[in-house]
Amino acid sequence: MARPKNKKVENVKPVRDAEATQAVILMSAEEEFAQHGFTAARTETIAAKTGVAKSMIYYYFKDKEGLYREVLKRSHADLIQTLQKLELEHLSPDTALEIFLRALLDCVSRNPKLPTIMFHEAVQNQGKYYQHSDSVSIDTTLIKILEQGVTAGVFRQLDPFQSAINVMGTCLFYFIGAGNIQQFPQDKRLLSKAMLEQHTHEAISLILAGVRQV
């Protein structure tokens, strides 16, 4: 009677090992794509950093493009899941916008590489992979909130599409430009918990003040 039980354990362990291996590869790939973008990123470097054979990367993700697509998907998963749970469509536009912004900034604060990856995507690939990523649904959610705010008279007369671009810029440039900004002699650690909390507060206050009806 013990054999079936042992067989079941043996079947589970390889699955868990495979999931763990893929997670390690994706973490290393995320770092590589954030630093170099899709074009200059090298699977050899990712393999070397993880201690995984290059052939294993191709086994799990087929090729560099498949790995890149999975990194984009993984990077947005946290925010997508959070927004789905919040049910923003049932909230007033200004409350929905504030909660959306806080969720966005919380997510990016936990994964500051994401904005840099998307920056490289825009510069190198002209949005080739972006258009098929979950980021589009995030942008759509923001535009919809702004549209509802204008319709309800809560927000001033603004172009929701253009305003969404400016909102994202206000939130995300902090992370994209961190390397340059930290050169100012102010002895501040931009990605420290205190500075990230301050950025979240300042960004949300600025955006809400900018979109609300006077």
Strand partners, 212: 155
Question: pLDDT value at position 9?
Answer: 44
What are the structural domain ranges in the chain?
A: 2-211
pLDDT in tens, 33-54: 999 999 999 999 999 999 999 9
Separation in Å, CA 152 to CA 63, 95, 207? 48, 13, 18
Distances (CA, A) of 2 to 7, 8, 16, 101: 9, 10, 22, 54
DSSP secondary structure of 51-93: T--HHHHHHHHSSHHHHHHHHHHHHHHHHHHHHHHHTGGGS-H
Distance CA 136, CA 144 (A): 12
Q: What's the residue count for the chain?
A: 214
In tens, the pLDDT along 50-104 reads: 999 999 999 999 999 999 999 999 888 888 988 889 889 999 999 999 999 999 9
Residue 182: the pLDDT is: 81
- CATH architecture of structural domain 2-211: Orthogonal Bundle (1.10)
Q: Is the pLDDT of residue 13 over 90?
A: no
Taking the model in full, what pTM does it have? 0.85
Tokens of 114: 């994401």
